[in-house]
């Protein structure tokens, strides 16, 4: 589905009909939407002067990105019914370019999860198999694009939360370089990792959304003003002269055979298009998940301290009736199990006597992981190709009682967040009817190179086909 | 065996900026509650901080004024704790990489003469909001107008040895910061706050005793009182064989006592870590140089120069240099041609009274220069000059020369023999007995006659001119 | 590494998170499993300490000192759980009287 310059009002009607059907089908991918809001968006867009790079494009927005005209709950009881009094920079830019916000999409509570089962408002179902998960934490956004409800959607990444569900759902998911897109209005989880990211039915849809959102923001001190602006590239017709690195640590012997077959397909396609492939090594990537599960919770423990029942959101007061009783009841009842686990872990690794052993150590390992990528790219490879996930979509409930197993679903995606690099997941085919994704990783701020190559692959790969 | 007191002070001053530390809200004091707030200082989901350049400039200037080494690279850190006046559940501060380190404050100790107290560090941070406990029964009210206003925290070395020294340190520190126009340092408005750490040890003991912190004292005088109370408490405890438990105490100005807030066991674990929303604060040399240039002459240097240039006594120089406005006024008068000692006398006397009342000097320096000249030339007596000085006309540029003002007020002295003769004759006829006694040899009565003449002339007569006329008449018969 | 219920409760107190008795055993078990898992960083080998990693720019940008607040589409009263006469309200807390 591409972005035709069709009247927004018509798009709003069709989109509303598809949202209603998705709801009837029990996808549970949306948290807030209404035909009235869609029509208002359409009226706004049709009133804009001609032009606008995304004119008439209906976009689903993950419900951890703030907007003033619908609640922003982060799929948490603690923010149930909270409506932000300001709008995220990314959303303002999309709207200014003529896009319409179609709905707020379901997610793992505060974006903490890899299956969208940790939503306080119910799990999101996989569009192709309701017994399976769509991945997460941006599972609602991914499912809506996969189900054809919207051509594009915003998600957010802290540790692979867009690429992993993109892979599970068989859509394109693009994570920009850290500092490429403003975080102002993205509800913070792990501030040094968080990136607003884009889903698209096609590479082109995702690229255009990213292009519009990109660029420094005076309201976010971590955006990078000194880098060239990103422009959605034309997809290349051949890849002659391109060197693609295959990190051996990302192709373990016990890799799921379906995933392996999918990657072989992608590698074959690269070679057919004239690219060379070369084995490289990223030895420290195997420590990415434990590193991530120190840094992200530590930052989250501080970022989620503001949900204290004083100024906004849920308030509960325990029997003692004092301020501490207010804090403990509000936060104890307002946060779900996974969020509480991570806040506790994050508090623990920062607490007196443990800082050096955990947080400081994790910072060192993070630097080693980033250094690996730098060296790999310096060794003459233009991009890296890896599986996005170690397995196809898993069954709902399979990992919910074992947090560590759940964390390992992000083993191939979260090293990239630690290194702050751009990466994407591209559907390469299916195994037993379930989508398989391949991940392309680029050097810092080389999104255009990565998307140009993805466009070329997209032309030759047949993602609806079985990979073996 | 005597006890030695060891004191270190943590001072928070609000930096004089228009907007807050990390957002564009007004930093004004006294607006209606929760009107100067935005997503950033309310700690709303998704909001992010961006540092205020002017706050960094002022903190840098303060650091230079205190002789600190300014770090070209410093780091913002999150200080984590829960309190209703702290919107994000953490304060953005600086921890192991502060803006500046290793400064000092030189001041006069009441006990030890001129001493030097080291400044361990100066860092920037954001203020918390305001809590009001007495307005809603059973509730605490939260006003976040102050939340996020920029502060500099100045931490001293434990170089202070008495409560009185602590007060002297604070007085000097405030003078320096006000001179540098970094902060107005008003304890009433909360733009200067003091936390004091005190411990005691046997005189000569090289090791420090266990310290206790006294928090939120509302005046320099009360800092001294609070520390005296805490010193007494600790000494009494130790002498009765007890041991000091590290704790935080609060001073009650009413009772003059300190009371325990929390002991170390229950003290906070702040879990500091670098704020991932804020890249390192890198100061370029230009910014530091610009602030070095912006530094005015500081009180200490000014005091020395006033002594050297105008030959003033040390005491006068100290009084005049205590306030930049007073010192500038004095220098305008002194360099305007008035005798420096007379100028100092006037500025510290009648002029200062007006300044303390109104916060400004009503009489322009040029007029005071003229007035001092008139006194020197006996055109106006000193007591008449005080009346002239007090006249509103002195503030009015269109009121003509100061001599003319004195004239129009009838306060110029009469030294013309003819005019004096009239008053002298009246006095002599009015006091025949005294004339008798004088002529009988009671010479000291001359003073009485002079006084009488001054009275009749309503202070207009020039006493020096009166005497010869009197003597002539009395002896002449 | 073994953190008992008391250890987890201490952390929960720091984080101001109320925990119900019945959920504690499972939470303690999972907490330990996660801590043991991340503890594998203890034996990460490295020869030279790497260049410290910075996700964002090398230096923070600064904003000029201008009063220009980000506008609120709704006033605090519209989202506060308890608000009166312009103030957010919370229950009175003993120690707070003094601070
Ligand atoms: Mg402080
Ligand atoms: Zn603000």
Note the ipTM here: 0.97
Give residue B466's region: left, alpha or beta (phi > 0; psi -120 to 50): alpha
Q: Which two tokens stand for residue A437?
A: 């994704």
Touching subunits of A (3+ CB pairs, under 8 Å) are B, C
Q: Contact B145/B129 with Cβ under 8 angstroms?
A: yes
Altogether, the residues listed in chain C come to a count of 99
Q: What 3-state class would DSSP assign to A358?
A: helix
Show residues of chain A in contact with B142, CB under 8 Å: 310-311
pLDDT digits (tens, 9 = 90+) for B164-184: 999 999 999 999 999 999 999
Average confidence (pLDDT) over B90-115 = 97
H/E element holding B187? none
Active-site residue, selected from the candidate residues A62, A125, A175, A399: A62
Ligand that comes closest to the CA of residue B129? 2
Whether the predicted pLDDT of A3 surpasses 70: no
Say what the pLDDT of residue B358 is. Answer: 84
pLDDT-derived band at A418 (thresholds 50, 70, 90) equals very high
H/E element holding B146? none
- Mean pLDDT is lowest, of B80-89, B110-119, B258-267, for B258-267
Q: Is C74 on the interface with B (CB under 8 A)?
A: no
Say what the pLDDT of residue B381 is. Answer: 82
Say what the pLDDT of residue B475 is. Answer: 83
pLDDT digits (tens, 9 = 90+) for B108-145: 999 999 999 999 999 999 999 999 999 999 999 999 99
Q: Is C31 on the interface with A (CB under 8 A)?
A: yes
CB atoms within 10 A of CB A69: 14
B84 and C65 within 8 Å at the Cβ level: the answer is no
C-alpha–C-alpha distance, residues A17 and A58, integer Å: 13
A82 and B45 within 8 Å at the Cβ level: the answer is yes
Cα B224 off chain centre by: 16
pLDDT digits (tens, 9 = 90+) for A449-462: 999 999 999 999 99
pLDDT-derived band at B266 (thresholds 50, 70, 90) equals low
CA of B124 to the centre of ligand 1 (A): 8
- Closest CA of chain B from C24, distance in Å: 23
Whether the predicted pLDDT of A107 surpasses 80: yes
- Average pLDDT of chain A is 96
- % of chain A residues with pLDDT over 70: 99
pLDDT digits (tens, 9 = 90+) for A214-237: 999 999 999 999 999 999 999 889
Q: What is the DSSP letter of A360?
A: I
C-alpha–C-alpha distance, residues B421 and B297, integer Å: 56
Residue B113's φ and ψ, nearest 5 degrees, are 70, -150
Q: What 3-state class would DSSP assign to B459?
A: coil
Name every residue whose Cβ is closer than 8 Å to that of residue A439 and which is 6 or more positions away in sequence.
A163, A167, A384, A385, A386, A387, A388, A412, A413, A416, A423, A424, A425, A426
Pairing label, strands B100-109, B69-70: antiparallel
C-alpha–C-alpha distance, residues A351 and A349, integer Å: 6
| Positive or negative torsion for Cα B225, B228, B230, B232 | negative
Q: Contact B10/C63 with Cβ under 8 angstroms?
A: no
Interaxial angle between packed helices A288-303 and C24-38, expressed in degrees from 0 to 180 and rounded to the nearest 10: 130
Average confidence (pLDDT) over A31-52 = 96
Average confidence (pLDDT) over C50-65 = 97
Interaxial angle between packed helices A8-24 and A35-46, expressed in degrees from 0 to 180 and rounded to the nearest 10: 160
C-alpha–C-alpha distance, residues B77 and B91, integer Å: 8
Pairing label, strands B212-217, B247-252: parallel
Q: Which two tokens stand for residue C84?
A: 């009166």
Task: Strands of A147-242 (E only): list them.
Answer: 152-157, 172-175, 195-200
pLDDT-derived band at C1 (thresholds 50, 70, 90) equals low
Show residues of chain C in contact with A312, CB under 8 Å: 79-81
C11 and A310 within 8 Å at the Cβ level: the answer is no
Cα radius of gyration rounded to whole Å, chain B: 31
Count the helices and strands in chain B (H runs, E runs).
Answer: 16, 16
B89 and A79 within 8 Å at the Cβ level: the answer is no
Q: What 3-state class would DSSP assign to B131?
A: strand
C-alpha–C-alpha distance, residues B416 and B304, integer Å: 45
Q: Contact A149/A141 with Cβ under 8 angstroms?
A: no
Query: Ligand 2 being an ion, which residues bring their Cβ within 5 A of it?
Result: B 23, 25, 38, 40-41
Q: Contact C68/B231 with Cβ under 8 angstroms?
A: no
| Positive or negative torsion for Cα A325, A330, A333, A338 | negative
CB atoms within 10 A of CB C95: 12
Q: Which two tokens stand for residue B347?
A: 């500025």
A352 and B88 within 8 Å at the Cβ level: the answer is no
C-alpha–C-alpha distance, residues A106 and A143, integer Å: 10
Among A195, A293, A344, A407, the residue to mutate for chain C (most C Cβ within 10 A)? A344
Q: How many CA atoms lie within 13 A of B156 on its CB side?
A: 26
pLDDT digits (tens, 9 = 90+) for A188-213: 999 999 999 999 999 999 999 999 99
pLDDT-derived band at B329 (thresholds 50, 70, 90) equals very high
Q: What 3-state class would DSSP assign to B63?
A: helix
Please report the residues numbered 37 through 56 in chain C whose beta carbons come closer than 8 angstroms to any beta carbon of chain A: 37-42, 44, 46, 49-53, 55-56
H/E element holding A365? helix A361-378
Say what the pLDDT of residue B12 is. Answer: 97
- Mean pLDDT is lowest, of B32-41, B247-256, B353-362, for B353-362
Interaxial angle between packed helices A447-460 and A203-213, expressed in degrees from 0 to 180 and rounded to the nearest 10: 160
C-alpha–C-alpha distance, residues A341 and A362, integer Å: 19
**Which residue does chain C place closest to B261, by CA atoms?**
C95
Q: What 3-state class would DSSP assign to A425?
A: strand
pLDDT digits (tens, 9 = 90+) for A58-86: 999 999 999 999 999 999 999 999 999 99
Show residues of chain A in contact with C60, CB under 8 Å: 221
Short-list C79, C72, B46, C70, CA closest to A65: B46
Q: Contact B250/B216 with Cβ under 8 angstroms?
A: yes
- % of chain B residues with pLDDT over 90: 74
Q: Which two tokens stand for residue C58?
A: 């090398």
C-alpha–C-alpha distance, residues B203 and B222, integer Å: 26
CA distances A447 to A175, A382, A450, Å, are 9, 11, 5
Short-list B383, B387, B392, CA closest to B358: B392
H/E element holding A449? helix A447-460
Say what the pLDDT of residue B354 is. Answer: 84
Show residues of chain B in contact with C72, CB under 8 Å: 37-39
Q: What 3-state class would DSSP assign to B7?
A: strand
Whether the predicted pLDDT of A1 surpasses 50: no
pLDDT digits (tens, 9 = 90+) for A138-190: 999 999 999 999 999 999 999 999 999 999 999 999 999 999 999 999 999 99
pLDDT-derived band at A358 (thresholds 50, 70, 90) equals very high
pLDDT-derived band at A4 (thresholds 50, 70, 90) equals very low
Average confidence (pLDDT) over B403-413 = 85
Say what the pLDDT of residue A179 is. Answer: 98
pLDDT-derived band at B265 (thresholds 50, 70, 90) equals low
Its pTM stands at 0.92
C-alpha–C-alpha distance, residues A289 and A409, integer Å: 10
Residue B401's φ and ψ, nearest 5 degrees, are -70, 160
Q: What 3-state class would DSSP assign to B141?
A: strand
CB atoms within 10 A of CB B475: 9
pLDDT-derived band at A2 (thresholds 50, 70, 90) equals very low
Whether the predicted pLDDT of C95 surpasses 60: no
Short-list B467, B352, B342, CA closest to B417: B467
Q: Contact B449/B427 with Cβ under 8 angstroms?
A: yes
Short-list B457, B107, B476, CA closest to B300: B107
Whether the predicted pLDDT of B18 surpasses 80: yes
Say what the pLDDT of residue A235 is. Answer: 84
DSSP, residue by residue, C6-43: HHHHHHHHHTT----GGGHHHHHHHHHHHHHHHGGGGG
Show residues of chain B in contact with A347, CB under 8 Å: 271
Q: Is residue A161 annotated as a catalytic residue, yes or no?
A: yes
pLDDT-derived band at C54 (thresholds 50, 70, 90) equals very high
Whether the predicted pLDDT of C99 surpasses 50: no
pLDDT digits (tens, 9 = 90+) for B357-373: 888 898 999 999 999 99
Average confidence (pLDDT) over A43-50 = 94
Q: Contact A314/A80 with Cβ under 8 angstroms?
A: yes
DSSP, residue by residue, B57-96: HHHHHHHHHTTPEEPSEE-EEEEE---TT-TTSEEEEE-S
Q: Which two tokens stand for residue B305?
A: 């120069």
CA distances B204 to A32, B1, B112, B198, B201, Å, are 72, 10, 16, 17, 8
C-alpha–C-alpha distance, residues B155 and B94, integer Å: 12
Q: Is residue A62 annotated as a catalytic residue, yes or no?
A: yes
Say what the pLDDT of residue B477 is. Answer: 54
CA of B77 to the centre of ligand 1 (A): 12
């Amino acid at each position: 589905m591409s972005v035709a310059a069709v009247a927004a009002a018509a798009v709003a009607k069709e989109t509303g009909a598809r949202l209603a059907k998705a709801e009837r089908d029990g996808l549970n991918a949306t948290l807030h939407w209404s035909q009235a809001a869609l029509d208002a968006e359409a009226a706004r867009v049709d009133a804009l002067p001609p032009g606008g790079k995304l004119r008439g494009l209906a976009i689903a927005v993950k419900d951890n990105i703030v907007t003033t005209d619908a609640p922003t709950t982060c799929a948490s009881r603690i923010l149930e019914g909270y409506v932000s009094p300001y709008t995220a920079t990314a959303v303002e830019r999309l709207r200014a370019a003529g896009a319409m916000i179609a709905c707020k999409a379901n997610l793992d509570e505060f974006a903490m999860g890899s299956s969208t089962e940790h939503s306080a408002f119910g799990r999101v179902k996989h569009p192709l198999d309701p017994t399976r998960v769509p991945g997460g934490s941006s599972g609602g956004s991914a499912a809506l694009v996969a189900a054809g409800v919207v051509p594009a959607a915003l998600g957010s990444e802290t540790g692979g939360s867009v690429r992993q569900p993109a892979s599970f759902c068989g859509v394109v998911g693009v994570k920009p370089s850290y500092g490429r897109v403003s975080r102002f209005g993205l509800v913070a989880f792990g501030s040094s990792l968080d990136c607003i990211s884009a889903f698209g039915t096609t590479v082109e849809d995702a690229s255009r959304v990213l292009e519009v959102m990109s660029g420094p923001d005076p309201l976010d001190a971590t955006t990078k003003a000194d880098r060239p602006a990103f422009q959605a590239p034309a997809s290349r017709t051949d890849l002659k002269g391109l060197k693609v690195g295959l990190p051996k640590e990302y192709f373990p012997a016990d890799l799921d055979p379906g995933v392996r077959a999918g990657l072989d397909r992608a590698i074959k396609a690269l070679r057919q298009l004239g690219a060379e492939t070369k084995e490289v090594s990223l030895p420290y990537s195997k420590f990415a998940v434990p590193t991530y599960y120190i840094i992200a919770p530590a930052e989250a423990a501080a970022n989620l301290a503001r949900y204290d029942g004083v100024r906004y959101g849920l308030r509960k007061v325990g029997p003692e009736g004092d301020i501490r009783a207010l804090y403990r009841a509000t936060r104890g009842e307002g946060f779900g199990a996974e969020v509480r686990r991570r806040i506790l872990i994050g508090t623990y690794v920062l607490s007196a006597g443990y800082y050096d052993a955990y947080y400081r150590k994790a910072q060192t390992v993070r630097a080693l992981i980033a250094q690996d990528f730098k060296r790999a790219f310096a060794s003459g490879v233009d991009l890296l190709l890896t599986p996005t996930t170690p397995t196809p979509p898993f069954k709902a409930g399979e990992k919910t009682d074992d947090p560590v197993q759940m964390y390992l679903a992000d083993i191939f995606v979260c090293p990239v967040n630690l290194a702050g690099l751009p990466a994407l997941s591209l559907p390469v085919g299916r195994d037993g009817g379930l989508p398989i994704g391949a991940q392309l990783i680029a050097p810092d701020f080389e999104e255009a190179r990565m998307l140009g190559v993805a466009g070329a692959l997209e032309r030759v790969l047949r993602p609806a086909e079985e990979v073996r | 065996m005597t006890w030695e007191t060891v004191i270190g002070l943590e001072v928070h001053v609000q930096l004089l900026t228009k907007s807050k530390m990390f957002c564009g809200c007004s930093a004004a004091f006294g607006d209606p509650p929760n009107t100067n707030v935005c997503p950033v200082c309310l700690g709303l989901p998704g909001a992010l901080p961006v540092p205020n350049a002017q706050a960094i400039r002022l903190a840098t200037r303060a650091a230079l004024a205190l002789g600190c080494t300014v770090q070209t690279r410093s780091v913002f850190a999150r200080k984590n704790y829960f309190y209703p006046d702290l919107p994000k559940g953490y304060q953005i501060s600086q921890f192991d990489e502060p803006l500046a380190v290793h400064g000092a404050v030189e001041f006069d100790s009441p006990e030890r003469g001129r001493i030097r107290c080291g400044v361990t560090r100066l860092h920037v941070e954001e203020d918390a909001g305001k809590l009001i406990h007495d307005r809603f029964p059973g509730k605490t009210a939260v006003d976040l107008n102050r939340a996020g206003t920029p502060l500099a925290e100045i931490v001293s070395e434990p170089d202070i040895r008495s409560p009185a020294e602590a007060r002297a340190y604070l007085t000097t520190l405030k003078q320096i910061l006000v001179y540098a126009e970094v902060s107005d340092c008003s304890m009433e408005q909360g733009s200067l706050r003091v936390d004091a750490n005190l411990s005691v040890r046997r005189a000569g003991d090289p090791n420090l005793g266990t310290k206790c912190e006294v928090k939120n004292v509302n005046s320099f005088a009360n800092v001294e009182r609070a520390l005296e109370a805490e010193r007494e408490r600790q000494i009494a405890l130790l002498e009765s064989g007890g041991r000091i438990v590290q704790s935080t105490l609060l001073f009650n100005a009413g009772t003059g006592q300190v009371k325990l807030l929390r002991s170390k066991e229950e003290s906070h674990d702040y879990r500091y870590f670098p704020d991932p929303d804020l890249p390192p604060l890198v100061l370029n040399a230009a910014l530091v140089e610009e602030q070095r240039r912006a530094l005015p002459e500081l009180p200490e240097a000014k005091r020395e120069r006033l002594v050297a240039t105008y030959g003033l006594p040390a005491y006068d120089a100290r009084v005049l240099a205590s306030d930049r406005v007073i010192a500038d006024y004095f220098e305008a008068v002194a360099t305007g041609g008035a005798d420096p000692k007379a100028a100092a006398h006037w500025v510290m006397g009648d002029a200062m009274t007006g300044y303390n009342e109104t916060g400004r000097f009503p009489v322009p320096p040029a007029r005071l220069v003229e007035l001092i000249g008139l006194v020197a030339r006996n055109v106006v007596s000193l007591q008449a000059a005080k009346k002239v000085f007090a006249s509103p006309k002195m503030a009015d540029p269109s009121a003509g020369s100061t001599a003319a003002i004195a004239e129009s007020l009838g306060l110029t002295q009469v030294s013309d023999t003819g005019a004096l003769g009239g008053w002298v004759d009246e006095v002599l006829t009015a006091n025949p007995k005294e004339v008798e006694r004088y002529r009988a040899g009671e010479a000291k009565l001359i003073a009485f006659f002079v006084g009488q003449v001054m009275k009749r002339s309503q202070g207009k007569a020039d006493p020096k001119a009166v005497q010869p006329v009197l003597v002539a008449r009395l002896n002449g018969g | 590494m073994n953190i008992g219920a008391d250890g987890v409760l201490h952390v929960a107190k720091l984080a101001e998170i109320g925990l119900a008795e019945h959920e504690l055993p499972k939470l303690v078990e999972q907490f330990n499993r996660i801590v043991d898992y991340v503890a594998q960083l203890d034996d990460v080998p490295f020869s030279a300490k790497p260049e410290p990693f910075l996700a964002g720019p090398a230096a923070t940008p600064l904003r000029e000192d201008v009063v220009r607040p980000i506008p609120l589409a709704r006033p605090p009263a519209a989202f506060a759980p308890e608000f009166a006469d312009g103030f957010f309200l919370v229950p009175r807390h003993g120690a707070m009287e003094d601070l």
